[in-house]
Structure formats: C-alpha cells, structure tokens
Structure 1
Amino acid sequence: MQKHFAGFVLGVSLVANVLAADKKPNFVVIFTDDLGYQDIGCFGSPKIKTPNIDKMAEEGMKFTSFYAQTVCGPSRAALLTGCYPLRLARNDNGSIPHPKMALSEVTVAEVLKDAGYATGVFGKWDLAGHSQTQFNYDLAPTKQGFDTAFWTPGSNDSIVNILRQDEMIESGANMAQLSRRYTDEAISFIDMNADQPFFVYLAHSMPHTKLAVAPPFKGKSERGLYGDVVEEIDFHVGRLLEKLKEKGLDDNTYVIFTSDNGPWWVKKEDGGSAAPLRGAKCSAYEGGSRVPFVIRAPGKVPAGKVSEQVTATIDILPTFARLAGGEVPTDRVIDGIDVSELWHGEDSELDRTFYYYSHTRLRGVRKGKWKLLVPHIEEDKKIASLKNWPKMVPPADRGWQTEVELYNIEKDISEEHNIANENPEIVVELQKLVEQARKDIGDSAKRGVNARPLGDEPYKTPDNKHAVQIKGKKK
C-alpha cells in the first residue's frame, strides 16, 4: 500500500556506508506524552526554554511533518510495531482505543534483539491495559522483546505505580521524581551495555497530567507548571546526551526526541500548544497527531537540516531494522517504510500516503500536499470511545463533521480553508484511498482484511517465541 521513494539505489549505498562501521549503531527514542507541536524552542515555543533539544536540532535534523497517533496507547503500539493500531492483534475485543497488544505482534525491540541488541524500556507502557492497577502482567514489556524494564502500566492521571521487570516495586510513586528516575535508569542501562549495541525506549509520563516537577525546576519557566515540566525533561535529555559522549558512543548513536500525540486541550494551562496547527489531542486535524521530531547522530544525520517530508512513528521499526542489519517481519503487513535516506540527508521525494485515525475511527488521508477529512457518520455518536470526543477538542472543532474537507496542507498548515468544492477530482482520488484503507486496515469496529485477529488470551508457544497469526490460526 505504501511506495518507497525515488533514489532508493543511492539510499542503499548510503546505508551500506553507515553499516560499514565496526559497531552497529545504538538507538535512543525519547517519547514524551501530550507534548504539543510548539512546546519546544526549536519548534517555536515563545516561553518554554529547551536548550538541549534545540542543540540536538542544530547538530541534527528537524522533521516538521512527522506524525504519531492521536492518543496514548495507539501511539505507542504504532511506534513499537510499525503499523496502524487498528491493524494489530489485540488481547481484548477491540472496543476501546487503548489496545492490550497481543504477544503475536512483533515489536522493534524484538527485531533489534534478534539483531544482537540489548533492549531497555523506561517509563510509560500503556499496552497491557490503560490503568495503573487493572492491567495484564502477561503483556508486560519483558514479554515484548525488552531485556530490561523499569515501567509504569499506564498514564499518570491520578497515581503512578512502578514495576521493575515483572514485579511491582512501588505504589503511588512521587510524580515529581519520575522524569529524573526514568532517565537515571536509562543512563544506568547505557553504562551496563556500552560495549554492545543497545536500544533505549525512554517513554516519559509527562507532560501528561497530573503535572509534577522536581524542586530545582519549579517556578523556573515563563509558561507556568507545564513549562517547568518540559524544561525539566529537556535537562534530562542533556544528561543522557552527556552520558553518550562520556562513554564514547556519541558518534554511533541515533537519538530521537518526539511526542505520542498533540497537546491535551482540556487541561488549559496544564496542557500544551499545537500552534500553528489546528486541533489538539484526539482530533484528526493536524494538532492531534503532528508532533515535533528531532533526530541527532553526528556523522550520520546532517547538522542543521530541516525536512518537510511526511514521516511517522510507524517508520521507526523498518528504519531501525535497516540500520541495524535486522529483519522486518515478512509474515504480516507492516505500514511503516524505511526512511533512513531521509534521516541521512537525502532530498529524494517521498511518495507517501498517511492515514488519520482518531481513536479507532478512520477520519482522513494525506497524500503529498493534499489532506482530506471525511464526514462523521451517525454510528460515531454511538461509539463509546467517541462519545466524549467533542469535549476533548477546541470549541471551533466540536461539531460532528458533516461534509468532506480538503486542505492544501503545505499552504494552509492551520487548516482554515476548505477547498473541496474547488478540487472535486482531488477529493475523488483521496476518497478512493480512504476506501482502500477501510478494506485493508479497518474503520471503527469493522476490521480490514489485513488486520490481525482479536483474542481473549495472549498468544504463547512453549519456547516463548511469538506466535505467528496466519488466517486467524495460531501456528
């Protein structure tokens, strides 16, 4: 369904040169929660100071059209599997947006582990149940390819419980220390695995609310408590980068900083900003899923370059696999594509189709400069996960959409001018793509022909390898 871009042969040569180094590259993904498009300095924040992330951008690349998903759990599932969340096998009935991801799914941690990597996750998981207490231990990170896990099951809405590996070690942890503790654990992991290739997945609980910040950062930002939290995260980004330099790993480590979705509008001052984008978390407008993305790898990623090419969290698995000499699963559809050429500064045009899902509802498609949003249907008002949707987004976006909307997203980044009536042929072309996605991936409760099965129990095999799902049967 996806097409690779032109210049592939040049990309192969470039990647071959990268892999020619004595050691495989390391990977660090810093995944924040509910951070808006404009909430760091290098993406235009007027009040939040993020010198370490800004320096990453100066020494690496910014991608200004990078997409996650519109809400927490699905976004994590997409990053780890390289797939749209509705395609995935689940350990539940699929009625809620946050998936209990089945063990039959293959994660980027498993791909890298098979390629000889040490793998560690530090922070929010949210794939075993969207709860701090009601979650499935059998779906823990250690069952999905992570050797080391210091994690919390879900969001920090009220409390945070901490697990190490598969054991609960702390109930009601001090939220003001979470950003530091996750980073401490990631740094310790790097210390212990500096002599082998490693993958660090550092998934911060914040700036999702409840907000909390360590005393040295309290009251320091011009943006209030929210800004304090983001500035503390930036400080810990700096600590991690310094550790890589100290260990002599700086030139051989790809470090990515991004967010799981747009800002939580209903949290007002405790939420972030998606400006100049329209919408917010949960919305199919750009502010819901278009997030900041910075990547740094000295000598591999060119310094100070900005790309407007459409890339996404679903691209991380195939791209890491390529750079690590790993294997992308061939027994299932993977939606992401290898974008290593873009990361390495190639200017080849990406022929990309990206689909917008809001929770489990297919809401639109982007192809090049064009973005189409389709109307809501009557069924949407009855879907449990969408009932509160109008309350989650800015007032201007709260009405159930009743007509097709088309935007030239390159000229109209704020989605102010619906030009569907002036471009009927473009609307027809993009509507065909939407229908293809409905058949292939699915829409709401209707799963596509290439969606993996739902199930009530984790898929297991005696040798603890992930079962392969073929036509709904366990193999």
Structure 2
Amino acid sequence: MYCTMSLLYVKVLFSALCAVVLAHNKQPNIVLILADDLGWNDVGFHGSNQIPTPNIDALAYNGVVLNRFYVQSTCTPSRSALLTGQYPIRYGFQVMPILHGENRYLPLHLKTLPLHLKQLGYATRLVGKWHLGHSYFNNTPIYRGFDSHFGYWPGAIDYFNHVADGGYGMRRNLLTSWSTQNEYATHLFTRKSQDAIIEHNYKKPLFLMISHLAVHAADENQLLEVPDFAETNKTFGYISDHRRRLFAGMLTELDKSVGSVCNTLKDKGVLDDTIIIFLSDNGAQNTEMGYDNAGSNWPLRGMKATLFEGGVRSPAIMYYSKAKVKSAINSQLMHITDLMPTLYVAAGGNVKDLGTIDGVSQWGAITQGDESSRSSVLLDIDDFHPHSSLIGYRGRYKLINDSVINEFGQDGYYGKDTSPTKNPPYDVDLVLASPTNKAINKRLTKKKILTIRKKLTIQCTHKGTRPKPCDKNGLCLFDLVNDPCETENVAKKYPHIITDLSKQLLSYWKILKPQDKHFTDTKSNPIYYNNTWSTWMEHQ
C-alpha cells in the first residue's frame, strides 16, 4: 500500500513538473506588422509632433525601440530579405521591386521564415501585400510557407477598388476576392487580421504577418486615399500641404489598426504570449520621386530607393511582455535579415538549422540586453549602374560608392522639416489612453514617455534641403554616430577605413548574382484574365 501511494505521488509530481516545464517553454505567438513606405519622421516616438501615432508610440514605449534597424531601400528586396534571412544580392533580387506583370519571383530553392516556423509547429497566416512574384501558382504565398493568404500579389493597389494598372488585385488564397471590393484596404486588412487572431486554435502557436498597403501611394489616378476626405481635412487642417494632410489621414488608419490588433490579442487572452514586431519595409518616398506619398524622413538624408539613412533606416519596434528588457532603446546594429533567425530562436529553433544565412539572431540582444554579434551590414549593391553601400565598425561608419539609383536623379534630398509652430504639442495623454497602451496595461508614465522620446529624437544642424552629393567617381564615408544625418563626407580623413570597408564590399561583389533585366510580360495583361492579376504563366 505504501509503495503504491509513493509511486502515485511520484507520478503526480512528475506530471506537475512536466506541466511547469511545458508552460515555461511555451512557444510564443508572433505578429509581424509591416508598414509600406513609412518614414522615420512619420511616427511620433521619433520626435515629430505633426501626425499623432498614439498606438504605434505606445508599442514603442512599452517595448524595445530598435533604433539602428536597417532594411533594403525598396519593397521587394526588403521582403525577400525578411523571409529568407539572406541578402538579396545572393539571388539577384537587389535594388528593384518586381514590376506589375514581370515574370520574376523569389527563387524556389529558398526556404522562407513561415516554412521554418511550420516545422516548429506554427500555423502561418499572411494578410496584405506579397510582392514576391505571382507568375506561377508556386510563386504565391500559400506555396511559399503560408497556410493562408488574404491580400494582393502585386506591388500596390487602389485602397478602395483594389485595382492596379487595369487589373483587380485582391485574393483569398488563389481565388479572386470580389466580395470585398470597395472596402478601404487598411480597414479590410485589419478586419482579416482580427479574424485570424479570433478564429485560431491556440493549441498551435500562431505566426501572423500583417503586410499593409499603408502608407504606400495608390495609383496614378489618386495617390493618397483616405476613408473620409472631409474628416481628414478637418482633423489635420493645421497641415498646410494638402498631400501631407491626406498622408496623415492614411497613417491615422494604420495607427488605429495597430491598436485594434493589440486589443484583439488582449480580448482573446493571448497578448502576453505574443511577440509583436512593427517596422517599415523602407524609407518614405516624397516630392521628388515618382508617386509622391508625402512621407518624411527628416532630419535623415535621402528617401526610398536611396542608400542614405532616410531610405534604409526603419522605424522598428519589438514588444514582448515576457522579455527581461522593456521600455528601452536598443541602438545596436541590426538588419532585416536578422528577423528570421531572431524569430526562429524565439520560437524554440536552433539557428544552425537555418543553413547559410546573412542574418544573426538578435533575440538575446533585444530581450536580455546582450551584445549583438553583428558588426556590419551590407545595404545593397546595384550591379546595373553601379552603386553600393556598407555599414561597418559596429554601426559607426557607412561607406557609399556613388550616391543613388541614377535615373531618379537623387543626390541625398533631405525633404522638409515638419516642425513648424502650427503643429499641436505632443499629446502624451493620447498615448496613455490609446487602445494599445490600455491593452498592455503596464503602468507607463508621462515621465517615462518623454524621457524615451527625447533620447529618440535626432538633432542635426543642417538647414538646407540639398546637400552635396557623393562624387560619382569617388566615395562617401559618414560617421553615423556623430553625424546621423550624413552632412559631412569624412572619406579624406579616414583613408584606412575606406580601404577596409571597400575590401568588405568587394567580397560581396564576388558572391553577387546579377539582376535580370526588368520588363513587363505583355502576356500578363489583366484583360486576358477577367481583368484580374493572375498567374499568367500557368496559361502559356
């Protein structure tokens, strides 16, 4: 009898210990929110008073701001780097986004982040933009690791009618989603994301990637689209530039979306078990480049499609309630290729299983305050023009070989300072009362908010909007620690650093896969496929 009771006690104790271990090692859910063309100066937590972003700001102040987080300068390369953990130069995806109707796609041999997470037991969902190819079925999201996709395959669509260059773009997996036409895209993607969170069975962890259209320009007919034009003009009447005013309305809807997602996670009871990442795929585009969406990277130099800070330094945040480090700023060097190994480690995986990648796990650096193993970042190499850039010396020095993509004619434009006296003061109470902050409910204070915000506000002395370009026959070197706005070329002062970083760049040239020429396949024309963007190569 005594032995039987002892054995029963041991079994009960063992079961209890196993339950504790399983609870401790529970895989976190992951919600990755990717904004499109959002600039450094478009969010309030970087010091801008012009457009309130209380939900995004609340996520930043409660979490960890990744203050030196770099991305590719355009959308397709950034998205490919995120999902593969590899620099786009390795597979010919550098510089140029995929054109509408271009038969180019993420190479099929590359294993994506959602595929890796599926092997760890995750359910994987994508809502929103893809932009990594759709000429064949096997180029599309549900063949590249996502269990489901609601969104669009091309680079951009109209916010209301969901049309791009004559073709309807909205899809539910492989099927055209006509029933959702005319619903404002940001609202639609928010609703679909909330559905994914609510309907998920949390016996399996969830990876949800929310890839917004906002704040990208729509199309040539109406670049900047808001749900209520009159309300936007009323709310942001203090902004004199009507384009910037519309942009503010678009950004407001994106900010509300972040709040809605956080609130839904709380209502479902899984917020504390969820890692939330927020970032932009590249810097803002503005008045001097193509589709002007009136974004701002001030006071950083450059814009989308340039290798200056304004084009490649992203507003980025990670929030996780169980992280040791909270309400903090991490200024260590990070790159978008790091997201795959970082999240894989967070999910319980071993980085060695990912094979050859350029990303490094930043999980310990972000959540524990460990020192990052990353010492340099390749920003890009354009083998067509050519131009290239690399950051070395643990993030201090940036080498640029030729300024930017030449056909855009950019030479490091600063944009406009958005801090005139007409802007309202920064509203800390709005941040505290935001749905995001209420959902997190970690007793954030006004003092803490203002202290963090002050540290995040970059102050530069430049006044003009047209800095001297890098010499097309030479090099530019910037000290990003002392001169984050890239106002002074210090190449002549530090020839040894130029030599060192040039050698590093040369090593990447040796592994670069040349880009294919970019052109639209006439056979992709939507008129052949019921006026929709289709997997046209399947019909050849």
TM value normalised by structure 1: 0.80
Comparing 58-67 and 398-407, the one that deviates more: 398-407
- Structure 2 counterpart of 1:115: 120
For residue 499 of structure 2, the aligned residue among 403, 414, 428 is 428
Larger Rg: 2
Deviation at 1:389, TM superposition (A): 2.8
- Structure 2 counterpart of 1:323: 346
CA RMSD between the two structures: 2.8
For residue 125 of structure 1, the aligned residue among 112, 125, 130 is 130
1:303-318 alignment to 2 at 5 Å? Answer: 303-318=326-341
For residue 58 of structure 1, the aligned residue among 61, 64, 67 is 61
Comparing 354-363 and 305-314, the one that deviates more: 354-363
Query: Do the aligned partners of 1:187 and 1:243 also contact (CA within 8 Å) in 2?
Result: yes
Deviation at 1:406, TM superposition (A): 0.8
Query: What SS does structure 1 have at the residue aligned with 2:329?
Result: strand
Query: What SS does structure 2 have at the residue aligned with 1:414?
Result: coil
1:212 and 2:218 are equivalent in the alignment:
no
Deviation at 1:148, TM superposition (A): 1.1
For residues 328-384 of structure 1, the C-alpha deviation after alignment (integer angstroms, 9 at most, x for no partner) is: 5758520100000122041425442101216665511111211111237xxx9xxxx
Query: Do the aligned partners of 2:189 and 2:210 also contact (CA within 8 Å) in 1?
Result: yes
Structure 1 pair 115–412 and aligned structure 2 pair: CA distance change class (3 A): same
1:69-468 alignment to 2 at 5 Å? Answer: 69-88=72-91, 97-98=97-98, 100-128=105-133, 135-156=135-156, 159-160=163-164, 161-170=169-178, 173-174=181-182, 177-195=184-202, 196-210=204-218, 211-215=224-228, 218-219=232-233, 220-221=235-236, 222=239, 223-265=244-286, 266=289, 270-300=293-323, 302-328=325-351, 330=353, 332-348=355-371, 350-357=373-380, 363-367=388-392, 368=394, 369-375=396-402, 386=405, 388-390=407-409, 394=413, 396=467, 401-442=472-513
- Structure 2 counterpart of 1:14: none
TM value normalised by structure 2: 0.71
Q: Distance in 1 between matches of 2:21 and 2:503?
A: 39
Query: Do the aligned partners of 1:155 and 1:208 also contact (CA within 8 Å) in 2?
Result: no
Structure 1 pair 393–407 and aligned structure 2 pair: CA distance change class (3 A): closer
Give ranges in structure 2 of 5+ residues lacking alignment.
1-19, 99-103, 219-223, 414-465, 518-540
Structure 1 pair 107–137 and aligned structure 2 pair: CA distance change class (3 A): same
Query: Do the aligned partners of 1:19 and 1:324 also contact (CA within 8 Å) in 2?
Result: no
Q: Distance in 2 between matches of 1:149 and 1:157?
A: 16
Query: Do the aligned partners of 1:81 and 1:108 also contact (CA within 8 Å) in 2?
Result: yes
Deviation at 1:53, TM superposition (A): 0.9
Query: What SS does structure 1 have at the residue aligned with 2:41?
Result: coil
Structure 1 pair 225–419 and aligned structure 2 pair: CA distance change class (3 A): same
Query: Do the aligned partners of 1:282 and 1:359 also contact (CA within 8 Å) in 2?
Result: no
Could you tell me the percent identity over the aligned residues? 30
Structure 1 pair 329–173 and aligned structure 2 pair: CA distance change class (3 A): farther
Deviation at 1:18, TM superposition (A): 11
Comparing 159-168 and 195-204, the one that deviates more: 159-168
Q: Distance in 2 between matches of 1:415 and 1:171?
A: 48
Q: Distance in 2 between matches of 1:149 and 1:185?
A: 10
For residues 303-325 of structure 1, the C-alpha deviation after alignment (integer angstroms, 9 at most, x for no partner) is: 21001111121111111111112
Query: Do the aligned partners of 2:189 and 2:212 also contact (CA within 8 Å) in 1?
Result: yes
Q: Distance in 1 between matches of 2:354 and 2:275?
A: 28
Q: How many residues align?
A: 413
Q: Distance in 2 between matches of 1:95 and 1:273?
A: 21
Q: Distance in 2 between matches of 1:398 and 1:162?
A: 41
Deviation at 1:440, TM superposition (A): 2.8
Query: Do the aligned partners of 2:44 and 2:54 also contact (CA within 8 Å) in 1?
Result: yes
Query: Do the aligned partners of 1:279 and 1:288 also contact (CA within 8 Å) in 2?
Result: yes
Structure 1 pair 123–430 and aligned structure 2 pair: CA distance change class (3 A): same
